[in-house]
Amino acid sequence: MPDAAAGGPRPTRGTLLGFDFGEARIGVAVGEYETAQASALTTLHVQSNRARFDAIGALINEWHPVQLVVGLPLDMEGEAQERTARCQRFANQLNGRYNLPVALVDERFSSVEAEHQLADAGKTRWQQRKPELDAAAAQIILQHYLDH
């Protein structure tokens, strides 16, 4: 399931940051190898590449992750789709800018699962779920990586 974009062995200890990449928003989650638990962190609402990577750089400086995880959008058959190449490019940029290993993880159904979790938590209206949806999807992506 996980696909290391940066190569090398998978760390066994430390903090990870997970990303649900989108053109308008990027959901971010944080997790720990020791506890094997991920938590939703924030959603970045940035359009320009510079602002996007400045915000990510600030999170990396704050959390000091040993690895990054990026959700890879695939179609129902597990094949690449239109957004797949953009996510792969984003993962490569993360590796190049921050010199951290980056894993790509199949993100199929992460947004649907996040929607259900938020609804189950009492956020029954779309307007209640929307601000948290991307970070919750990033949490699911990162949790799937930690679980496998």
Domains of the chain: 3-147 (3.30.420.140)
What's residue 112's pLDDT? 53
Pairwise CA distance, residues 5 & 104, whole Å: 6
**Three-state secondary structure readout of the chain:** CCEECCCCCCCCCCEEEEEECCCCCEEEEEEECCCCEEEEEEEECCCCHHHHHHHHHHHHHHHCCCEEEEEECECCCCCECCCHHHHHHHHHHHHHHHCCCEEEEECCCHHHHHHHHHHHCCCCCHHHHHHHHHHHHHHHHHHHHHHC
What would the pLDDT profile of 13-60 be if each residue is shown by its tens digit? 999 999 999 888 899 999 999 999 999 999 999 888 899 999 999 999
What's residue 78's pLDDT? 66
What's residue 82's pLDDT? 79
What's residue 115's pLDDT? 53
Mean pLDDT, residues 74-100 taken together: 86
DSSP 9: P
**Burial category of 12 from C-beta neighbours within 10 Å (exposed 0-12, middle 13-18, buried 19 and up):** exposed
What would the pLDDT profile of 109-136 be if each residue is shown by its tens digit? 555 554 555 555 565 554 544 556 788 8
Residue 106 has pLDDT above 70, yes or no: yes
Residue 98 has pLDDT above 80, yes or no: yes
What's residue 55's pLDDT? 96
What would the pLDDT profile of 3-16 be if each residue is shown by its tens digit? 444 455 677 799 99
What's residue 41's pLDDT? 95
As a residue count, the chain comes to 148
Residue 2 has pLDDT above 80, yes or no: no
